[in-house]
């Protein structure tokens, strides 16, 4: 096999394994440390520890949020401990300082005091907070300095490291924080932090947003400012409106739809933007032809059940390969903080492969540059001849690996679009949607052959339309590459 092909297959396989690792084990993410310089736990802090999948934690979370709003000077720190090693270390040390030996969440720790469970925390937490604030007051430690006594304007800012639009609003945000010291702006990096991604989804649900919007986004008062223009044009206005509301004693805050200053709420992907490229990509000549040849080899001797099993095994393998590859690529990019570089590289790959594909069509020849290599075809032919369910599954993985050059540019460009403004959590539904659409023709061909369609007729249709399919694929890749380069979405 050609050395270049071997290198490409090895790289895809490694990212594929990364996708499996994310699904089954997760990727540890680094967060800001809450430990003192000497490694100890700060004693002048109140911690609420929870686990993402803990139902009791989710039940009590609204109460905790109410306490945070009622007592902003307490600076209650909400920390997820099941998927974050730094928070877990602090959790263990905080419990040790409080003399706790049996661990469990939800739990509140404040110095030597520890509360646990959905009964004890609501019953005693407010008293713990008041004792804490009294101690701070007697010790001479003043609460947060504000320009207007008793006024603290709370806001949450979600951003991504490497996000071009986030960088552009950064100077404005810093200037407004200096101008309005009463602004308590919680800054949460989204792309490389799973805990912040979960928080992002929860806040979006609180504001009754359907699809989580792109970034940068600031939730302040009753509105969400989505995108660079909205933040630049409306943030100071919202700060002043919140200050007036708090000073007037108005505690009613009805969350409304996001303020976007004329831009769409989700300035990244939308379902149609995923479905159309996925539908074009789904008629992948490589994946379809391999399935058809596999069905041709068994159609004469196999019954309907066997056709469905073998076709289903092949389709499942193609789906799993692509979804895990997508998760792997997206996770590696998010974890390494190179989302901007990856989006530009993805655009370049999409443009290059799109131009090559269009040139292939223009040459009007039977052989295409972007196709499964001859050596790869020989390898897949061996599994086609075996015509078993396990062989069909391996064949599906091979078709994904060796056929990625055919239309992989579309998938990479979609991942690049996701990387410009979405976290892995927010992007996962789009990945699932893309890959479900991607395998629909494989499902359809399997069903048609199982219920009487000659696979030779399916191959004839594929052969007659392969040039038109490649033309559409090439055009989609070029368009997506241009969209990413121009920064229209993120």
> Which among 184, 198, 192 has a CA at the least distance from the CA of 81?
198
Q: Measured between alpha carbons, how far is residue 472 from residues 59, 274, 282, 354, 405 in Å?
A: 50, 15, 11, 10, 16
The residue-averaged pLDDT of 358-364 equals 77
- Judged by average pLDDT, the poorest of 105-109, 180-184, 409-413 is 409-413
Q: Report the SS3 class of residue 166.
A: helix
- Tokens 């056929």 label which residue? 403
Give CA torsion, residues 461, 466, 472, 475, to 10 deg: 180
Residue 114 token pair: 């520890």
pLDDT in tens, 265-306: 334 567 887 888 888 777 766 677 777 777 777 665 567 788
The 3-class SS string of 341-367 reads HHHHHHHHHHHHHHHHHHHHHHHCCCC
Structure tokens at 362: 């223009």
The pLDDT of residue 334? 61
What CATH superfamily is the domain 46-138?
Glutaredoxin (3.40.30.10)
Let me know if domain 153-247 sits in CATH 2.60.40.1180. no
Residue 393 CB: number of other CB atoms within 10 A?
A: 21
User: How high is the pLDDT of residue 254?
Assistant: 45
Distance of CA 470 to the CA centre of its chain: 30
pLDDT value for 2 = 52
Q: How far is CA 47 from the centre of its chain?
A: 27
How far is Cα 225 from Cα 223, in angstroms, rounded to an integer?
Answer: 6
Residue 367 in this model has a pLDDT that exceeds 60: yes
State which of 138-142, 149-153, 220-224, 332-336 shows the largest mean pLDDT: 220-224
For residue 106, cis peptide bond before it (omega within 30 degrees of 0): yes
Q: What is the pLDDT of residues 199-218, one digit of tens each?
A: 888 888 787 776 667 788 99
Q: How far apart are CA 284 and CA 186, in angstroms?
A: 45
Instruction: Locate 207 and state its tokens.
Output: 């504001």
Give the integer Cα–Cα distance in Å for 99 and 112. 7
186-204 burial, b at 16+ Cβ within 10 Å, e below that, comes to eeebbbbbbbbbebbeebb
Give all strands (DSSP E) within 308-450, no chain letters.
Answer: none
| Residue 331: band (very low, low, confident or very high) from pLDDT cuts 50, 70, 90 | confident
How many angstroms separate the CA atoms of 137 and 141, rounded?
6
Q: How big, in percent rounded to 5, are the helix, strand and coil portions of the chain?
A: 65, 10, 30
Which residue in the block uniquely carries the two structure tokens 């789904």? Answer: 282
Max distance between CA atoms of the chain, in angstroms, equals 88
User: Parallel, antiparallel, or unpaired: how do β-strands 153-159 and 107-110 relate?
Assistant: unpaired
**Which pLDDT belongs to residue 16?**
55
Q: Is 75 exposed, middle or buried (0-12, 13-18, 19+ CB in 10 A)?
A: middle
CA distances from residue 32 to 2, 29, 64, 195, 376 in whole angstroms, order as listed? 46, 10, 21, 12, 47
Amino acid 44: pLDDT: 60
Could you give the residue range(s) of every CATH 3.40.30.10 domain in the chain? 46-138, 153-247
The answer to whether 48 and 64 have CB atoms below 8 angstroms apart is: yes
Say what the pLDDT of residue 146 is.
Answer: 35
Instruction: State residue 110's pLDDT score.
Output: 87
**Token pair recorded at residue 488:** 């229209």
Cα(132)–Cα(59) distance, integer angstroms: 25
User: Phi-psi bin for 16: left (phi > 0), alpha (psi -120 to 50), beta?
Assistant: alpha
Query: Shortest CA distance to 431 belongs to which of 420, 445, 444, 418?
Result: 418
Rounded Cα distance, 262 and 260, in Å: 6
State how far the alpha carbon of 199 is from the alpha carbons of 195, 276, 490, in Å.
Answer: 6, 30, 21
Q: Which residues contact 382 (CB under 8 A, 6 or more apart)?
A: none
Residue 107 has pLDDT above 90, yes or no: yes
Kind and range of the H or E element at 304?
helix 304-336
Tokens of 458: 């399916």
- Residue the block writes with tokens 């996770």: 331
CA-based nearest residue to 173, from 190, 186, 160: 186
Structure tokens at 50: 């929870």
Q: What angle do CA 150, 156, 158 make, to 5 degrees?
A: 160
């Amino acid at each position: 096999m050609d050395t270049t092909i071997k290198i490409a297959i090895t790289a895809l396989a490694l990212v594929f394994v990364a996708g499996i690792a994310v699904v089954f084990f997760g990727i540890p993410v680094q967060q800001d440390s809450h430990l003192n310089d000497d490694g100890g736990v700060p004693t002048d802090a109140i911690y609420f520890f929870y686990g993402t999948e803990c139902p009791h934690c989710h039940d009590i979370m609204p109460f905790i949020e109410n306490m945070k709003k009622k007592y902003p000077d307490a600076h209650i720190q909400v920390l997820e401990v099941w998927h974050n090693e730094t928070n877990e270390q602090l959790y263990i040390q905080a419990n040790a300082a409080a003399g706790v030996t049996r661990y469990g969440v939800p739990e509140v720790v404040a110095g030597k005091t520890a509360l646990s469970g959905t009964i004890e925390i609501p019953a005693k937490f407010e008293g713990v907070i008041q004792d804490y604030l009294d101690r701070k007051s007697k010790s001479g430690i003043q609460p947060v300095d504000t320009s207007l006594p008793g006024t603290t304007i709370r806001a949450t800012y979600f951003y991504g490291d490497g996000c071009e639009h986030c960088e552009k609003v950064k100077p404005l945000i810093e200037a407004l924080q200096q101008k309005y010291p009463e602004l308590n702006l919680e800054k949460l990096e989204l792309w490389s932090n799973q805990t912040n991604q979960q928080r992002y989804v929860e806040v979006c649900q609180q504001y009754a947003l359907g699809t989580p919007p792109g970034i940068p986004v600031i939730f302040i008062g009753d509105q969400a400012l989505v995108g660079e223009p909205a933040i630049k044009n409306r943030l100071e206005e919202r700060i002043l409106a919140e200050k007036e509301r708090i000073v007037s004693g108005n505690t009613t805050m009805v969350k409304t739809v996001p303020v976007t200053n004329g831009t769409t709420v989700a300035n990244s992907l939308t379902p149609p933007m995923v479905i159309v490229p996925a539908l074009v990509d789904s008629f992948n000549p490589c994946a379809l032809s391999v399935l058809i040849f596999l069905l041709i080899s068994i159609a004469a001797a196999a019954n309907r059940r066997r056709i469905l099993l073998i076709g289903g095994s092949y389709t499942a393998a193609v789906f799993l390969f692509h979804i895990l590859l997508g998760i792997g690529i997206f996770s590696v990019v998010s974890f390494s903080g190179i989302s901007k570089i990856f989006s530009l590289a993805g655009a370049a790959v999409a443009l290059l492969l799109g131009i090559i594909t269009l040139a292939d069509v223009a040459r009007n020849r039977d052989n295409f540059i972007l196709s499964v290599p001859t050596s790869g075809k020989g390898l897949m032919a061996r599994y086609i001849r075996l015509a078993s369910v396990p062989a069909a599954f391996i064949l599906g993985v091979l078709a994904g690996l060796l056929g990625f050059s055919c239309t992989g540019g579309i998938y990479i460009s979609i991942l690049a679009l996701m990387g410009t403004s979405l976290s892995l959590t927010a992007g996962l539904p789009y990945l699932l949607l893309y890959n479900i659409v991607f395998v629909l023709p494989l499902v359809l061909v399997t069903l048609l052959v199982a219920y009487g369609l000659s696979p030779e007729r399916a191959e004839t249709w594929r052969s007659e339309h392969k040039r038109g399919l490649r033309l559409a694929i090439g055009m989609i890749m070029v368009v997506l590459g241009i969209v990413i380069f121009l920064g229209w979405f993120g």
